[in-house]
Amino acid sequence: MSSTAGARADPAIRLQDLHYAYPGPSAGQLPPWALAGVDLTVEAGERVAIMGPTGSGKTTLALTLLGIVPQSTGGRIRGRVRVLGMDPRTTPVPSLARRVGLVLQDPESQFLMTTVEAEVAFGLESLGVPTHEMPARIQQALDQVNLAGYEVRSPAELSGGQKQRVALAAILAMSPEVLILDEPTARLDAPGARQLQAALDGLQRSSASTLLVISNDSQWVAGYADRLLVLVAGRVVADGHPKDILANAERLASWGLAQPAALALADQLQRAGFPADFHDLETALSHLSQWLPPAPAGSA
């Protein structure tokens, strides 16, 4: 038997004592660490959410995983960083982008082309995908985000939510091994957020991608993520199952985060003696309907 038989695959992401500080405003001035000793291991195929107050280092962490920090920003960095076995500090960003996808909170900053179809095709061209394979991959990606029929529209003409979905489609078409999304539901309504979840589920079924979602949408995180990290002042202060972390309203408030409405309702019902155990509003309504008396006959 080979000595490697049965060996566990390397994690998709591994950070050890990661510190990073942006360049100071002038020579000799050392700003505080934006990331202050982050230790993190994400296994291949995991679905991880990261929450934290403004300025906690969430976006900086995402940019570090893609090498934009520090290659484009400069600044001070120390510790160990590995993404799919690569060191983002030294691996060229275009090489990382072939395997690691990033959808920013502001999708317009990623647009380069004049039509939706061309925008989705751009990443495929950079990967060297044969021309005859592109139409099917473009169509599949647009179908996943419910933008079929928008191929010749200009991204500039679309709504905020539609722009977000175009940026996501462009990344989905590339089938990244690691997908990082920065506040993906910020411009989406409830149906759009559910559609996003379905698209990400489809990506994981088809390619077993690792997903890292930065989001303070606690309700969406509670229903989607398998694991939740909370980042405060550049440090990981919590790491565990979303339901366990989000159930503690007082601790969330101390971090400047809100508890999901469904969990807050469940907590109040449990205090009143009802056996409430749910994390989303649809399940909450189902529970409540069991306890309410039937409507009188003939009522509207």
pLDDT tens digits for range 94-122 = 999 999 999 988 888 889 899 999 999 99
* Structure token digits, residue 183: 């506040």
Residue 187: pLDDT band by 50, 70, 90 thresholds?
Answer: confident
**Residue 104 and residue 119: Cα distance in Å, rounded?**
15
Burial profile 30-53: b = 16 or more Cβ within 10 angstroms, e = fewer: eeebbbbebebebeeebbbbbbbe
**Stretch 263-270: mean pLDDT:** 68
Q: Is the pLDDT of residue 285 over 70?
A: no
> Which pairs from 150-155 meet CB under 8 Å and 24+ separation?
150/116, 151/115, 151/116, 151/117, 152/115, 152/116, 152/117, 153/115, 153/116, 154/114, 154/115, 154/116, 155/108, 155/111, 155/113, 155/114, 155/115, 155/116, 155/119
Domain residue ranges in the chain: 10-99+178-185+207-256, 106-175, 260-291
Predicted confidence at residue 246, as pLDDT, reads: 92
For residues 9 and 44, the answer to whether their CB atoms sit within 8 Å is yes
Say if residue 107 is preceded by a cis peptide, omega within 30 of 0. no
């925008």: which residue's tokens? 119
């990506």: which residue's tokens? 203
Please compute, for residue 121, the number of CA atoms within 13 A of its CA located in the half-sphere on the CB side. Answer: 15
* Structure token digits, residue 130: 């044969």
Predicted confidence at residue 269, as pLDDT, reads: 67
The architecture CATH gives domain 10-99+178-185+207-256 = 3-Layer(aba) Sandwich (3.40)
Average pLDDT, the chain: 87
* Beta strands 35-42 and 13-21, pairing class: antiparallel
pTM of the model: 0.83
**Stretch 49-54: mean pLDDT:** 96
**Stretch 226-251: mean pLDDT:** 94
Residue 3: pLDDT band by 50, 70, 90 thresholds?
Answer: very low
3-state helix, strand and coil shares in percent for the chain, rounded to the nearest 5: 40, 20, 40
Residue 53: pLDDT band by 50, 70, 90 thresholds?
Answer: very high
Predicted confidence at residue 1, as pLDDT, reads: 43
* Structure token digits, residue 97: 């982008």
Q: Is the pLDDT of residue 65 over 90?
A: yes
**Residue 130 and residue 124: Cα distance in Å, rounded?**
9
Predicted confidence at residue 280, as pLDDT, reads: 57
- Of 180-189, 241-250, 279-288, least confident by mean pLDDT is 279-288
Residue 272: pLDDT band by 50, 70, 90 thresholds?
Answer: low
Predicted confidence at residue 37, as pLDDT, reads: 97
Predicted confidence at residue 223, as pLDDT, reads: 83
